[in-house]
Amino acid sequence: MDAVSYEFDAALSFAGEDREYVEEVAEALKAAGMRIFLDGDYQAEMWGEDLVEFFDTVFRKRSRYAVLFLSRHYAAKIWTREERRSALARALEERSAYILPIRLDDTEIVGLRPTLHYLDARRVGIEGIVAALRAKLDGVPGDLVPWPGDRAPRTEREVAQVLSERPPGWEYLYFAGVLQTQLRALEAGYRDHEVGHQEATGEHVSMEAAIPYAQRTLDDLRNIVGSLTGLFEPMNLEKAFGPPGKAGDPDRIRHLGQRLTSAYERLLVWAARVRGASRPGELDQLFALLARFADRPIAEYRAFVEEFTDWADRIPTAMAAETPFRATITLTVSIDTELSEAFTTEAARIFGETVPM
């Protein structure tokens, strides 16, 4: 069967007890552009079907790869055994790897040879799983494109290799890679922000509603800025990077990076929404000033990512030389108070009175 004939890039086989984790992996795979079979997404198609036959078809004919999430729960389930049998039957027909096993714990699974190479989710994390499957689908020799090892990673595959190798300071190298790759994924939105590009949002703001709208949206902006800085509470950092002398948690590090990126994206969306709202022409300058309130936190977040990456780039050299190296993660994001004065002045010009913001 040709690769182009497959409906799914991968079908996921797992025990119900592991569903929450597997669904998070599935979302990351789909976000990376992969076509994934996850049973919960196909309830309508499964309705009324003989599920033994349905899953047999999915694993033997409709999917390029079968990804098996192995655990003590997986070993005990009837349905996972049926899916595994279908995958093994398909594997007999393949000349190359078809079954891609991922360990969630150390349980041995009947029917899978101990010589089969596994990914260990506890080591590579979700990011590593995504990069490894992407590499398989792209036909990259081996699982990963080599990371040079002398700087922080810059691509998803390099990030995955950092997780696989776990060099000294890997937690900070990994975090820098997550921040960089996710920041680049939003570059188009940032370019729109730079040039002030706006698309109509369908939202109309009248003269009477202008000040309440501005006050409400500025409250939203303050909440976004607060969520950025709140993520850097010491307790959150210790859970992700580990207490002194202990290894970090790759999934928590990735989650922290995702939440930071999400807040940054919300800043871009906030400014685009303000620019795209329709209003009377008399309000154009006021709304231009309002949209600019996002400029400083956006610039400060981008500077943080670049500065942290530059710092992380020095980790491999410092570690190799056994040079003391202090871990520093500081994020400062603020709103321009001088812009508040310009906005208040413009509002007073339009409405003839001082408007509290």
pLDDT, tens digit, 9 for 90 and up, residues 20-74: 999 999 999 998 889 999 999 999 999 998 988 999 989 888 899 999 999 999 9
Looking at the DSSP assignment, which residues form a beta bridge with residue 10?
A: 36, 65
Strand partners, 120: 103
pLDDT at 95: 66
Q: Which of 202-216, 231-245, 323-337 has the lowest mean pLDDT?
A: 323-337
pLDDT in tens, 239-261: 999 988 888 999 899 999 999 99
Q: Are residues 221 and 324 in the same domain?
A: yes
- The answer on 117 and 160 residing in a single domain is no
For helices 234-241 and 170-185, the axis angle rounded to 10 degrees is 110
Q: What is the pLDDT of residue 19?
A: 93
Give mean pLDDT, residues 192-220: 90
- Classify residue 263: in a domain, yes or no: yes
What is the structure's pLDDT at 319?
85
Query: Which of 106, 138, 170 is the last residue in one of the domains?
Result: 138
pLDDT band at 209 (very low <50, low <70, confident <90, very high): very high
pLDDT at 279: 94
My answer on whether 214 and 292 are in the same domain is yes
Q: Comparing C-alpha atoms, which of 176, 162, 98 is closest to residue 136?
A: 98
Query: What are 133-161's pLDDT values in tens digits?
Result: 888 887 754 444 467 788 999 887 788 88
Select the highest-mean-pLDDT range: 3-12, 135-144, 282-291. Answer: 282-291
Domains: count for the chain: 2
Q: Which domain holds residue 210?
A: 156-351
Chain centroid offset of residue 231 CA: 15
pLDDT at 174: 93
Same-domain status, 337 and 201: yes
Kindly state the tokens that stand for 333.
């994001």
Task: Output 151-154 pairs: Cβ under 8 A, ≥24 positions apart.
Answer: 151/312, 151/313, 151/316, 152/176, 152/177, 152/180, 152/309, 152/312, 152/313, 152/315, 153/177, 153/180, 154/180, 154/181
Higher-pLDDT residue of 353 and 68 is: 68
Q: What is the CATH number of the domain that holds 73?
A: 3.40.50.10140
Q: Is there a domain that residue 235 lies in?
A: yes
186 and 332 part of one domain: yes
What burial letters (b/e) apply to 251-289, b meaning 16+ CB within 10 Å? bbbbbbbbebbebbbbbbebbbbbbbbebeeebeebbeb
In a domain, 143, yes or no: no
| 150 belongs to a structural domain | no
Asked whether residue 164 falls in the same domain as residue 119, the answer is no
| 357 is a domain residue | no
Domain shared by 37 and 81, yes or no? yes
Q: In terms of domains, do 16 and 124 share one?
A: yes
Amino acid 327: pLDDT:
64
Q: What is the DSSP string of 281-305?
A: GGGHHHHHHHHGGGHHHHHHHHHHH
- Does 288 share its domain with 341? yes
pLDDT of 303 above 90? yes
- pLDDT (average), residues 310-325: 85
pLDDT at position 145 is 47
CA distance 23 to 7: 19
pLDDT-derived band at 2, boundaries 50, 70, 90: very low
Instruction: Please tell me the predicted confidence (pLDDT) of residue 142.
Output: 44
Same structural domain, 209 and 244: yes
Q: Give the SS3 label for residue 74.
A: helix
Rounded to the nearest integer, the mean pLDDT of the chain is: 87
Integer Cα distance of 330 and 75 in angstroms = 44
Higher pLDDT, 298 or 139: 298
Name residue 65's amino acid: Y
Sheet of strand 36-37: strand arrangement: 36-37, 8-13, 63-70, 99-103, 119-120
pLDDT tens per residue, range 169-188: 899 999 999 999 889 888 88
Whether residue 119 sits in one domain with residue 78:
yes
Strand ranges (E), the chain: 8-13, 36-37, 63-70, 99-103, 119-120
Is 356 domain-assigned?
no
Provide the pLDDT for residue 143: 41
Identify the pLDDT of residue 4. Answer: 45
* pLDDT confidence of residue 146: 65
